Amino acid sequence: MSDPRRLAATPFAATPEAPEGLTATVPRQLVHRASTAETFLTGMTSEGSGRFTVFAEWPRTHQLHVSSDGSAYEPLLLAETARQAGTLLAHAAYDVPLGHQFVLKEARIGVCDERLAVGTAPAEPVLHLTVTDLDHRGARPAGFRYEAEIRLDGEPVATAELAATWTSAAAYRRLRGGRTAGTVSALPAPPGLPPAAVDRARPGDVVLARSGHPDRWRLRVDTAHAVFFDHPLDHVPGMLLLEATRQAVRARTAGGPRTPVAFRAVFHQYTELDLPAWIEAFDRAGAGGTDIQVRGRQGETTVFECEVATVDG
């Protein structure tokens, strides 16, 4: 394992400070994105003892991560930024080889939504990361848990805690029993809910379909979606499941319209593309002020669960 305080072997330690605020995104491969437009990080420094600072830039417009009226950043943008920060950290500080497969195990995010207004220039958040737990397989790191505080203009706007594991491509193939992006085909996507019902502007961004039961929906998976499937995958990505959670909260008929401001998600196993998945939402008080429970199921198996804290509106 490399010393997390020693970043001389990474390209970031040698990158000079850009003049007059000029920035560029980090290599997209280091955050597991195929598109530079979906790469939000611009750099990283080490503070020692498992502490890091990650720099980012958020666009003023985005089909998913900016509200439908263009006025505010969506909470899941902060989750995606924190996810990218962990992936960058794994490769740049812990020498995880490119080509390793990452699995998101847990994700917790809480936002100050009143501080997420879109301004007259792209926002430049700063993430302060602390690795709190590092797992090993033999002598090599095989996963970690980290906390992030996200600040805009020096003010905290969100906190996050994520846990992820990784494995080599060969081990992943064995784990998946030959299921690859090339051998698994997603089920045809059913018609989605009306976009307004889930606070989305575009029909293509709707990930829920009617099921015939209130507060239960069929997960709608479109592998041609440019954000959720920025590159081919053999399973439903965790960020799509978080978006399904967000939309389920917005679409609920019980208790009136609610806006999610915090998520506590656990991903129990892969959500498969070629099996129908169902999203359920119900009232349930939980830790940290959460008041709605969202659950994803395939057959008799619960594949993920998410506690959500909401506010009126």
20 pLDDT above the threshold of 60? no
What is the total residue count of the chain?
A: 313
- For tokens 């502490």, the residue is 51
Percent of the chain with pLDDT over 90: 83
Answer yes or no: are the C-beta atoms of 265 and 106 closer than 8 Å: yes
173: nearest Cα among 165, 164, 183, 163: 183
Instruction: Tell me the residue ranges of DSSP E strands in 138-268.
Output: 140-152, 155-167, 208-210, 216-219, 258-267
* Nearby residues of 14 by Cβ (< 8 Å), 6 or more positions away: 8
Q: What is the mean pLDDT of residues 16-27?
A: 63
The whole-chain average pLDDT of the chain stands at 90
pLDDT tier for residue 138 given thresholds of 50, 70 and 90: confident
**87-130 pLDDT, tens per residue?**
999 999 999 999 999 999 999 999 998 899 999 999 999 999 99
pLDDT of 3: 39
1 pLDDT above the threshold of 70? no
Q: Structural domain boundaries of the chain? A: 19-174, 180-312
pLDDT of 307: 97
169 pLDDT above the threshold of 50? yes
Percent of the chain with pLDDT over 70: 91
Please count the other Cβ atoms lying within 10 Å of the Cβ belonging to residue 227: 20
pLDDT tier for residue 14 given thresholds of 50, 70 and 90: very low
**184-240 pLDDT, tens per residue?**
999 999 999 999 999 999 999 999 999 988 899 999 999 999 999 999 999 999 999
pLDDT of 178: 87
pTM over 0.85: yes
| Domain 19-174 in CATH 3.10.129.10 | yes
Answer yes or no: are the C-beta atoms of 211 and 218 closer than 8 Å: yes
pLDDT tier for residue 7 given thresholds of 50, 70 and 90: very low
pLDDT of 6: 34
pLDDT of 200: 93
**42-84 pLDDT, tens per residue?**
999 999 889 999 999 999 999 999 998 999 999 999 999 999 9
Q: Torsions phi, psi of 97, nearest 5?
A: -65, 145
Answer yes or no: are the C-beta atoms of 165 and 143 closer than 8 Å: yes
Superfamily name and number for 180-312: Hotdog Thioesterase (3.10.129.10)
Lowest-confidence region among 3-12, 54-63, 280-289: 3-12
Using DSSP, state whether 121 is helix, strand or coil: coil
Compute the distance between CA of residue 242 and CA of residue 76 in angstroms, rounded to an integer. 8
The reply to whether 180-312 shares the fold of 19-174 is yes
49: nearest Cα among 129, 140, 125, 141: 129
- For tokens 């940290």, the residue is 288
In terms of phi and psi (left: phi > 0; alpha: psi -120 to 50; beta: otherwise), the region of 11 is: alpha
pLDDT tier for residue 254 given thresholds of 50, 70 and 90: low
